[in-house]
């Protein structure tokens, strides 16, 4: 079953009508003014407007390059192979390696995934 963008946005707007403010976390209460940002265009670009402020990483390109340099060759290959091909939220800060965009948010989960993979899939001697 495929859901259209309009159906998703309609569902989102419907839910907003019934959202109880007392169920909202302290973090979100201070961002109520952002309701004006809840449009299809702004949701598509949430990582380069104030919609994700305080929740998302703010890695500068120089920080991403520094993180990348600290990885071993094996970790770099794993990152390139397993990185997300989509720029969700249209982030502006990324580096390009082997024709793939790499974002700071991907480094940590992918590194942990590699550690877990290596632990569980060790070759038995």
pLDDT tens readout for residues 7-45:
888 887 888 788 777 776 666 666 566 666 667 777 788
Domain count, the chain: 2
Closest of 123, 103, 15, 11 to residue 56, by C-alpha: 103
Domain match, 47 and 67 both: no
Q: How many CA atoms lie within 13 A of 57 on its CB side?
A: 15
Residue 75 has pLDDT above 60, yes or no: yes
| pLDDT the model gives residue 44 | 80
| pLDDT the model gives residue 54 | 66
- Judged by DSSP in three states, 86 sits in coil
19 vs 63, higher pLDDT: 63
Q: What are phi and psi of 21, to 5 degrees?
A: -65, -25
| pLDDT the model gives residue 30 | 62
- Segments forming the whole domain that contains residue 15: 5-52
Residues 6+ apart with CB under 8 A from 96: 102
| DSSP bridge pairs for 95 | 102
Domain match, 67 and 109 both: yes
pTM of the shown model: 0.62
Residue-wise pLDDT for 78-117, tens only, equals 888 888 778 878 888 889 998 888 888 888 888 788 888 8
Whole-angstrom distance, CA of residue 45 vs CA of residue 120: 38
Q: What are phi and psi of 59, to 5 degrees?
A: -65, 130
In a domain, 73, yes or no: yes
| pLDDT the model gives residue 65 | 92
In a domain, 12, yes or no: yes
In a domain, 125, yes or no: no
Query: Beta 95-97 vs 100-102: how paired, if at all?
Result: antiparallel
């Amino acid at each position: 079953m495929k859901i259209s963008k309009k159906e998703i946005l309609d569902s989102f707007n419907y839910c907003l009508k019934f959202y109880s403010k007392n169920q909202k976390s302290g973090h979100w209460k201070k961002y109520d003014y952002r309701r004006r940002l809840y449009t299809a265009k702004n949701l598509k670009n949430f990582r380069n407007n104030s919609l994700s402020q305080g929740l998302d990483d703010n890695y500068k390109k120089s920080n991403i390059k520094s993180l990348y340099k600290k990885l071993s060759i094996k970790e770099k290959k794993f990152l390139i192979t397993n990185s997300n091909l989509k720029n969700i939220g249209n982030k502006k800060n990324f580096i390009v390696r082997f024709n793939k965009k790499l974002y700071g948010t991907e480094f940590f989960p992918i590194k942990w995934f590699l550690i877990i993979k290596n632990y569980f899939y060790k070759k038995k001697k």
